Amino acid sequence: MAELNGMTGKIARVDLTSGTVTVIEPPEELYRKFLGGSALGVYYLLKEGVVNPDVEPLGPKNMLQFMVGPITGAGANARSVTITKSAYNFISIATSGGQAATELKFSGWDGIQIVGKASKPVYIAIVDDVVEIRDAAHVWGKGAEEAEMILKKEVLAETELREAMNRDADLTPEWAALRPAGRKGLGEKRLASVWVIGVGGENQVWYANVMTEGARAHGRYGPGAIMGSKNLKAIVIRGTKGHRLADKARFLELVNAIHASEKNDYFWRSYGTAGIGARSAYVEDAYPIRNWQWCCWSDPKNASMEGPWMDAASFVHKQACPNCLLKCLTTTEVTSSDPLLDGTMTDMPDWEAMGMVGGNLGFFELEGKTPSDPFGGTHIDQAENLAKLQFTTFLHDNYGLDYIEGGTLLALLMELRQRDLISVDDLDGIDLKWGDVHSVDEILKKIIHREGVGDTLANGSWETAKYFADKKGNPDIMKYVVTTHRYGQPAHDVRSPADKNAMEYVTVGRPSEHTGGGGAGFKEGDWAAAIAGQNNKCATDSMVSCSFPGGHFAGKTVDLIKAATGWTDFTEEDLFNVGARQYAMTRLFDIHTQQLTDPKEQWDKLVPNRWFKDPLPNGPHKGAIAYEGNSDKLFNEDLPAYWKTRGWTEDKGIPTQETLKALGIDDVAGDIAKQHL
Amino acid sequence: MTRVERRDKEPEPTKEPKQPSGKISRREFLGMTGTGIAGLVIGGVVSREAFPKQVEVPAQPAAAPAAAPAAGEVPAVAEALAGYTLVFDPVQCTGCMKCAVACSEKYGAYFHPEETKNTVNLEYSRIRPMRFQYVDVLNTCHYCELMEWAEGTNEFPCQAVCPEDAILTIPEGEGESGYFGMGYKWIDQDKCLGVDKCWRCAEICEDQFASGISFDPISRKAQVCSRCGGDPECVKVCPEPLALQWVPMGRNGRFYAHTPTEYAELLYRKMYNVRREL
């Protein structure tokens, strides 16, 4: 096979049951269709039959994939993407920044596909072409952070460690006499990168992440649970082969141009997503407070959720993904008068953490106050509240849990307690109240170990609501779970017209994804523009690149792919079609694996009750509800119109055979689509 | 309600800018102050990226006489400096890898122009940021010399244990401009036995000092930072103010030398008040 550029042309398929590794060599034509990353991963789920309903998400037949794309490596940032069937039985695609993505490319692989189940805990060590399955008994049961640091030193490139050679006779006599007894340390290089699960993933909490670098996560739809179900603790990678490019000079020229532009990006370079908290609350009225009962504080001094304020309170250091100048991750040391929290080393909060395990858990009001009351405290009180949020972020990171779904779950339980719909006994004696970080700490321990009620809670917010609705014989309980498509809604509301549009969450290819794109198009009812935005996001996840510096890539993306791959005839339309293919495939995946007969009723309409029933109680958009209250228009006019624009059927949203043929994916998706027309 | 619009650009001048008349603007003054301070410390030449924001000089009318270079402007010809060292600030360094990419591009092309024509490979880099959780350590050679009064020699430790005398110090006036010379280290490619026969230099470094030696993946010979012969590429590309500086070596380089894990353990204590053993 001719050698590829940009991509390596090799995927490692690791079967943990048999302990074997086979090399998959996708033809170049597949890369042109899917690029790599998320779209290629979804293709393999269909091709290998993982889409079939008889493949149990947590069983050995499910396939977990880690993928990178043609610009991952020397590109202007680095992300990896996990693709698998989620424990929730829908598509799971999650991306993460971090150096492990570049290491995978540098080791000569475009991806790793893991099938089967190991008989005991293992980790996969990759050094270039050598893929080993190693025992992980020493790190099983350890937190994601500790396990990562232990495993990082166990994988070295072959030049980085040899037997000791220097004898005392090789040194001067004086020096030899001073030589420290025993080795201080050989094998000091720490250039390997690690993808690891926490205890949450080991015990198959449905929303468990795959973590890296302590605070970065393949954060949604539970790839960590799938990894745990395979007894796989971690993947450790050290690559020394570099990234092969068709036109290196042109590629680096484009990367440097992106860097020059990023260097002036004060927003990301200052505080990352931590810079937008107060804006979301006070301007957009779309910030989750107490399970979305409020989206704004009536007192603008209530919480200073702004970058500069949090920087002054706790930020320590900024960390960048490889080759990115935006350095949007900020590390922190938590300072608090509460000894449980004090001294915790963690990150930020980033935007989603601020909302989902911050405001949403009632951390920002003083005791006895509601978000409608004056704050009544000082800046030090605010800093104490921030510490609670940061500690909860740390717990989720170290246990390896998605704090968007996790925050949704905890807030649901708190609201059910607030309304007295469940009792303390229902939560095994844990009195979960707004703002109580100690009870959050206790309940999370139960969840990650699946102890008592934690065994139910570990299946996520929707299953938990259903469990309590059944147990209490009270279907009203389902009204308080804020999930779209059974997965927690991220920290952007759709009731306020200033933030997201309801159609965005209804149509997005991954349940409840907040970075799906197309926002402006949805607001204007311009479905073609909305679809272009969504497709663009899929292409970004297939390259694989980050969406945060998207503006700096504008006009350069196609050129980057051309310079990397050498496909001189690659066009914007090809890029667009990568997304169109992924959308058609994920739509069919969700319908087929769940065997939905009426997708609109069983899937598309699974949105939070709160959207249409609970108007915003305060703030600049007081009184607003989703889609101006017109759910009938959303589901019966606009959704079919959107489907039609995509080339899908108007009644069920099934991609037509013509559409699949035009996209060139009728071979993997045609038969599935026929079954559901 | 009045609104204040954000301005991304300087407003267009409404009248002709004044001719330079010996009077300097506040902007220029600030820029010059910066260089003045730097000049005091490091003896005349500003480290190029230490003050990365170029002072914006108001557009000169076409008729203006060709003046002396404006304050803050980078001299066209870089000057190679002897007796300098790299100092990094682990709080400012974000671990973005730009230094490693620049270094590997430079030396990969120097040693293996054909093999690296189409490949970006950080293995040729003499400087490697290492990402520990929440801390970043910039790993490179620190130029530590042994203490003659205590250790019987003032050689570099790697030099002292090299059986082939392959680790050279290229004096000022020799070497290749932009790559080696000016009193910095260089590996004699003919003499070095390569990692498959010998790794004494790397071993002694990691055993007692730091982790400044790596090995070329093609030739298998040792690699060490030659400070680009006094004009290091990494400093030029570093995007973070003061994260990586090129400063006169105040003392024996072994005072900068700690293994990457020692650095990281110290940083956990300093930055987060956390004790960790790596």
Nearest to A256 by CA among B105, B114, B51: B105
Interface mutation target, options B93, B94, B273, chain A, most CBs of A under 10 Å: B94
Q: How many angstroms away from the CA of A73 is the closest CA of chain B?
A: 8
pLDDT at A39: 98
Report the C-alpha gap between B178 and B79 in whole angstroms. Answer: 10
Q: Are B144 and B257 in contact (CB under 8 A)?
A: yes
Q: How many angstroms away from the CA of B256 is the closest CA of chain A?
A: 16
Q: Alpha carbon A534 to chain centroid distance?
A: 17
Are A317 and B131 in contact (CB < 8 Å)? no
pLDDT at B7: 55
Distances (CA, A) of B46 to B68, B92, B184: 17, 19, 20
Report the C-alpha gap between A126 and B18 in whole angstroms. Answer: 64
Are B121 and A240 in contact (CB < 8 Å)? yes
Report the C-alpha gap between A646 and A563 in whole angstroms. Answer: 30
pLDDT tens-place string over residues B124-169: 999 999 999 999 999 999 999 999 999 999 999 999 999 999 999 9
What share of chain B has pLDDT > 70, as a percent?
72
B248 touches chain A (CB under 8 A): no
pLDDT at A279: 85
Chain A from 496 to 525: CB within 8 A of any B CB = none
Are A149 and B278 in contact (CB < 8 Å)? yes
Task: Considering only the beta carbons, identify the residue of B96, B133, B239 that sits closest to A213.
Answer: B133
DSSP B31-67: HHHHHHHHHHHHTT---TTTS-SPPPPPPPPTTS---
Nearest to A273 by CA among A216, A211, A218, A353: A353
Beta strand pairing status for A216-218 and A210-212? antiparallel
Residue keyed to tokens 């993928």: A67
What share of chain B has pLDDT > 90, as a percent?
66
Name the token pair of A425. Answer: 């006994």
Q: How many angstroms away from the CA of B161 is the closest CA of chain A?
A: 6
Confidence of residue B58 (pLDDT cuts 50, 70, 90): very low
pLDDT at B12: 63
B42 has a pLDDT exceeding 70: no
Name every chain A residue with its beta carbon within 8 A of the beta carbon of B89. Answer: none
Tell me which amino acid residue B16 is: E
Q: How many H helices and E strands in chain A?
A: 29, 18
A106 touches chain B (CB under 8 A): yes
Are A175 and B203 in contact (CB < 8 Å)? no
B96 touches chain A (CB under 8 A): yes
Distances (CA, A) of A283 to A373, A621, A625: 18, 9, 16
Interface mutation target, options A175, A245, A251, A267, chain B, most CBs of B under 10 Å: A175
pLDDT at B24: 43
Name the token pair of B252. Answer: 């024996």
Name every chain A residue with its beta carbon within 8 A of the beta carbon of B109. Answer: none
pLDDT at A400: 97
Q: How many angstroms away from the CA of B147 is the closest CA of chain A?
A: 9
CA R_g for chain A = 25
What share of chain A has pLDDT > 90, as a percent?
94
The stretch B68-78 carries a mean pLDDT of 50
Those residues with Cβ within 8 angstroms of residue A480's Cβ, 6 or more apart along the chain or in another chain: A291, A412, A415, A416, A419, A421, A465, A609, A610
| CA contacts within 13 A on the Cβ side of A205 | 35
Name every chain A residue with its beta carbon within 8 A of the beta carbon of B202. Answer: 162
B259 touches chain A (CB under 8 A): yes
Residue B61 DSSP label: P
Task: Considering only the beta carbons, identify the residue of A184, A193, A327 that sits closest to B94.
Answer: A327
Chain A from 346 to 375: CB within 8 A of any B CB = 347
Name every chain B residue with its beta carbon within 8 A of the beta carbon of A318. Answer: 94
Q: Which residues of chain A have pLDDT under 50?
A: none
Q: Are B217 and B211 in contact (CB under 8 A)?
A: no
Q: How many angstroms away from the CA of A132 is the closest CA of chain B?
A: 21
The stretch B222-235 carries a mean pLDDT of 96
Beta strand pairing status for A232-238 and A122-127? parallel
Interface mutation target, options A3, A167, A168, A171, chain B, most CBs of B under 10 Å: A171
Residues shown for chain B: 278
Report the C-alpha gap between A437 and A572 in whole angstroms. Answer: 49
Residue A190 DSSP label: -
Q: How many H helices and E strands in chain B?
A: 7, 9
Report the C-alpha gap between B207 and B202 in whole angstroms. Answer: 8
Residue keyed to tokens 């209530």: A302
Confidence of residue B11 (pLDDT cuts 50, 70, 90): low
Task: Considering only the beta carbons, identify the residue of B94, B128, B272 that sits closest to A316.
Answer: B272
For residue A242, the SS3 value is: coil
Are B128 and A248 in contact (CB < 8 Å)? no
- Beta-bridge mates of residue A636: none
Give the chain A residue nearest B210 (alpha carbons).
A188
B199 touches chain A (CB under 8 A): yes
Are B151 and A175 in contact (CB < 8 Å)? yes
Q: How many angstroms away from the CA of A99 is the closest CA of chain B?
A: 8
Nearest to A25 by CA among A43, A4, A46: A4
Q: Is the pLDDT higher at A158 or at B48?
A: A158
Report the C-alpha gap between A131 and A122 in whole angstroms. Answer: 13
B133 touches chain A (CB under 8 A): yes
pLDDT at B6: 56
Q: How many angstroms away from the CA of A113 is the closest CA of chain B?
A: 25
Are A172 and B160 in contact (CB < 8 Å)? yes
B134 touches chain A (CB under 8 A): yes
Backbone φ and ψ of A441, nearest 5°: -60, -45
Report the C-alpha gap between A194 and A235 in whole angstroms. Answer: 6
| CA contacts within 13 A on the Cβ side of B80 | 19
* Peptide linkage before A494 cis (omega within 30 of 0): no
Q: How many angstroms away from the CA of B166 is the closest CA of chain A?
A: 15
Q: How many CB pairs under 8 A join A and B?
A: 184
Confidence of residue B23 (pLDDT cuts 50, 70, 90): very low
Name the token pair of A52. Answer: 């079939």
B30 has a pLDDT exceeding 90: no
Residues shown for chain A: 677
Q: Are A306 and A278 in contact (CB under 8 A)?
A: yes
pLDDT tens-place string over residues B229-262: 999 999 999 999 999 999 998 778 888 889 999 9
Name every chain B residue with its beta carbon within 8 A of the beta carbon of A400. Answer: none
Task: Considering only the beta carbons, identify the residue of B105, B133, B151 that sits closest to A149.
Answer: B133
Q: Is the pLDDT higher at B11 or at B50?
A: B11
B109 touches chain A (CB under 8 A): no
pLDDT at B47: 35
Chain B from 207 to 226: CB within 8 A of any A CB = 207-208, 210-211, 214-215, 217, 220
Q: Are A92 and A83 in contact (CB under 8 A)?
A: yes
Are B123 and A173 in contact (CB < 8 Å)? no
Chain A from 298 to 337: CB within 8 A of any B CB = 316-325, 327, 331, 333
Q: How many angstroms away from the CA of A296 is the closest CA of chain B?
A: 22
Are A173 and B96 in contact (CB < 8 Å)? no
Q: Name which of A330-339, A644-653, B68-77, B214-223 the model is least confident about.
A: B68-77
Give A150: exposed, middle or buried? Use CB within 10 Å, 0-12, 13-18, 19+. Answer: middle
B270 touches chain A (CB under 8 A): no
